[in-house]
Amino acid sequence: MLLKQIQEIHEQSRGTYGWPRVHAELQLGLGVEVNHKRVARLMREAGLQGLYRRRRRGCTIRNPADDLATDLVNRQFTVDGPDRLWLTDITEHPTAEGKLYCAAVMDAYSRRIIGWSIAGHMRTELVIDALGMATLRRKPDKDQTILEDYSQAC
């Protein structure tokens, strides 16, 4: 009877719950007094396993032989006018069809997103497209705008 309840909880979670959540659902949701080790053992014997996603850290691999660019911002993100400092970042969004990447350009003065690009890859074109959109929309003065990679600045 307990295994049937475990299988039902696991099935209702679309196969994502592991023994800790199944155990919590049994105790807190259904009021069934059971040891977590027993839930883990029954799930293991039945071949039920939760889904887990581990975050991978970082994706940029720097060449140690390359010279580092000069930091023109020095962590001072307040500016006195528009189009003086633009910040960029890329975010990863997992979807049912795979991963999507979104590159955004934000004006530090107005704190508005002024350019963006979405693609299924994280190549240079993704950032270039977002920067191109920002440039077309704002038309900044030549040599007056600093572009800072926000993910490296934080």
List, for residues 67-89, the tens digit of each pLDDT value: 877 777 777 778 888 888 898 88
In this predicted structure, the answer to whether residue 10 has a pLDDT above a threshold of 80 is yes
pLDDT for res 150: 57
Any idea what DSSP says for residue 4?
Answer: H
Global pTM value: 0.55
For the stretch 120-149, pLDDT in tens is 998 889 999 999 999 999 888 887 787 777
Dump pLDDT digits (tens) for 45-57: 999 988 877 666 6
Number of Cβ within 10 Å of residue 20's Cβ equals 12
All structural domains of the chain with their residue ranges: 2-46, 85-153
Band (pLDDT 50/70/90 cuts) for residue 154 is very low
Percent of the chain with pLDDT over 70: 91
Mean pLDDT of the chain: 86
How would DSSP label each residue in 19-79?
HHHHHHIIIIIS-----HHHHHHHHHHHT------PPPP------TTSPPPP-SSTT----
Residue 44 sits at φ, ψ, to 5 deg, of -60, -45
Direct distance between the N- and C-terminal alpha carbons of the chain, in angstroms, rounded to an integer: 52
